[in-house]
Amino acid sequence: MTPMPTSSTAAPTLPLERRGPTGPLDGVVVLDLATFGPAARCTRILSDYGATVVKVGAVAGSGVETHRTPYYLYSGARHLRHVSFDLKAPAGRDAFLALVRGADVVVESFRPGVVDRLGIGFEALRAVNPRVILCSTTGYGQDGPRAAWAGHDINYLAVGGYLGATEPAADGGPPVSGATVADAAGGGMHAALAVMAALIGRRADGPGVHLDVSIADGVLWLTSLPVDEYLATGAPVGFGHDVISGRYACYDTYRCADGRWLAVGAIEPKFYANLCRLLGCEQWLGVQRDDAVQDAVRADFAAAFATRDRDAWVDVLAPADTCVSPVLDAAALAGDVQFASRRAFVEATVPVRARGDGVPATFRQVGPVLAGMAGVGEPVEAGDPSRSDVEELLGAAGIAAGEIAELRSEGVVA
């Protein structure tokens, strides 16, 4: 294989045609070494903003456990390319570095130190591409006493203060979150934000930067309102200590006659007054934040809400400046008129070769809904993780077809 150049001169970005709608990150090439979790969330965001994302997996039989995700996970791999390497083999590693030379960003989620042992750490990457941005996503960061700990979403929510600030479960213990807040926001959005800032800050010829994305740090930022209050005042904080953590009846959830629930967030006095009048609870108008009567206010609110079905209350209260909304589960929000009006869901078509084994020809998914993303509401073709784009990718990196065939036969790329 052709030796990798080590010049400090940056190579041009890989000439890859964008799959799917373009966006503000059009022309940015991202190599994603992750399968699950925050790193995959990060590159999903980057792709939906127009970046060309290449999913980099392990060659079967290379000694690395491989995972095939469900066809619908992470937006069904829409608009992504796929390639596999044996990074433990020198020829496989060199082939990967050939892609790095023409990439803008590499995203990985190995434990600290693994990329260095594989020979693809930041120093190795910038030796072939001084402009490259390496984004390392881990649970606790590249250093510190927890750096080597294994973990998942619940662990980062626990150490970052999120569980401790949430209403306790029936047994008094911290609850289990039904959504992967740490992975999606503390890790994935955190990483995507850091990558986009690094792209803006990078000059034409570099230097690149190594981004140390700690999911726990991201959760800490998400819970910084109560944490900052404690740091500044020393006062106890947690569930029920202030208006947005359940201290008052004006900020709570209530069961309706049909067993479904409403969320109430009437913080401002004018919204609280509207709520009291429409519930027939005018007796509580002047005591919104009187701790002595909150149990009584809650009881009267609960009794009022229990007299009508949820949607009947929504029809009355939501348009009347009361800060009331329905609590929707996945099945309900899939048919929600607000999301439908904003074309939040799209139809995805599965490539023929990827169908079978319970994989349908079409399915619905959440579209590119974040502000500034292109292609909102448009049909998409789901990705096919079994397909390899190795010839296109390595060819774009300047490797001859004969060399690619030889690498394939050696089992170091696929």
> Which residues are annotated as catalytic?
152, 183
Torsion sign across C-alpha atoms 260, 264, 270, 276: positive
Contact 339, 317 (CB under 8 A): no
Would you state the structure tokens that stand for residue 135, as one six-digit string? 């984004």
- Which CA distances in Å does 197 have to 9, 135, 140? 22, 12, 21
Give the Cβ contact number of residue 377 at 10 Å: 14
Check residue 353 and report its DSSP letter: G
Distance CA(58)–CA(245), nearest Å, equals 45
Nearest to 323 by CA among 256, 250, 384, 403: 250
- Which CA distances in Å does 290 have to 80, 123, 243, 247, 250? 55, 60, 11, 10, 11
Would you state the structure tokens that stand for residue 176, as one six-digit string? 């289990």
